[in-house]
Amino acid sequence: MKVRKAIIPCAGMGTRFLPWTKAVPKEMLPVVDKPVVQYVVEEAVASGIEQIIIVTSWHKRAIEDYFDHQADLEEHLLKQGKTKALRQVKRISEMADFVYVRQKGPYGNATPVLSARNVIGDEPFALLWGDQFVWAQPPRLRQVLDVFEKEDVVGVVAGMRVPPEVLVTKGVCRIAPYKNQEKVHQLLEIIEKPKPEEAPSDMAAYGTYVFKPDIFPILEQLKPAKDGEIWLVDAISKLCQEQMVLVSEIANGQFYDGGNKLAYHKAVVDFMLRDPEIGAKMLEYLKEKVK
């Protein structure tokens, strides 16, 4: 079953990056010369997604403008003979069919998924967070889709094995063997940020999911947790009790979190070092600073 659509929630307030995020969405934080959300979109498109549904809020217009067609800018670049920049700008709006939905409902990361339900319809869909991505080949989402398209299951979650100090910051998967496969596991539940001694495995859920629309009735029935928010992990754990959900263990992946200050700046350094124009000079600079 081909998956054509992906939801990318981008409605959060980004309080960890204040005061920058008072006016600029955290998803628009630059990693060298592209915002974080573009890396997320590129992962989806490289995995075969055709329609991107970005869930926003009133202070996220910059995201909509960024992926829009900008005729004045393109005309200016054409007149200036800046063909490379022109190709880069045009490609942004042509990568996919972009749809924007305003988030409605209680706070929590399950709300943007519900907000996009009418656009998804009766199709399966992918879900990726707008402020984090994984650098992997093949792309993380493609690895998840390969499992989803092969197996007759209701959902697949991306997973990565992590050390104990990272587990306490993630949703941790309780897993069971599946058909003697080494990198695919049955998901029994997700436990959000467990204590080290309570972690059911070393497998953390890593920000990409593929679901059939069966998850929507469960999302609609979710009740707010003690913090007043509705959480996707609660819906996934409920779905696991009713139908088969799998974990696809991501190979060769490096996770980058644009919602965390230290992790974000590590991503910037990594991608600067990879950049063919500035990588060598940046390496020299860093070596000098270490001295």
Mean pLDDT by 10 residues, the chain (291 residues): 92 85 90 92 95 93 92 91 91 93 85 94 94 85 95 93 85 91 93 86 90 94 80 92 93 79 89 93 92 79
Domain assignment present for residue 245? The answer is: yes
Residue 291 lies in a domain: no
pLDDT at 127: 97
269 falls within a domain: no
Q: Is residue 52 part of a domain?
A: yes
Report if residue 175 sits inside a domain.
yes
Q: What is the pLDDT of residue 1?
A: 72
State which residues form the domain around 89. 5-259
Report pLDDT for 3: 94
> Considering the domain boundaries, does residue 223 fall inside one?
yes
Q: Provide the CATH number for the domain around residue 249.
A: 3.90.550.10
Three-state SS at 83: helix
pLDDT at 225: 75
* pLDDT of amino acid 168: 84
Tally of CB atoms within 10 A around 46:
14
Please report the pLDDT score of residue 171 as a whole number: 87
Residue 288 located in a structural domain: no
- 47 and 4 in contact (C-beta within 8 Å)? no
Whole-prediction pTM value?
Answer: 0.92
Cβ contacts of residue 198 below 8 Å, gap of 6+?
A: 191
In this prediction, residue 226 carries a pLDDT of: 67
- Number of domains, the chain: 1
Contact between 87 and 40 (Cβ < 8 Å): no
Domain assignment present for residue 201? The answer is: yes
How far apart CA 98 and CA 41 sit, in angstroms, is 10
Residue 134 near residue 255 (C-beta atoms within 8 A): yes
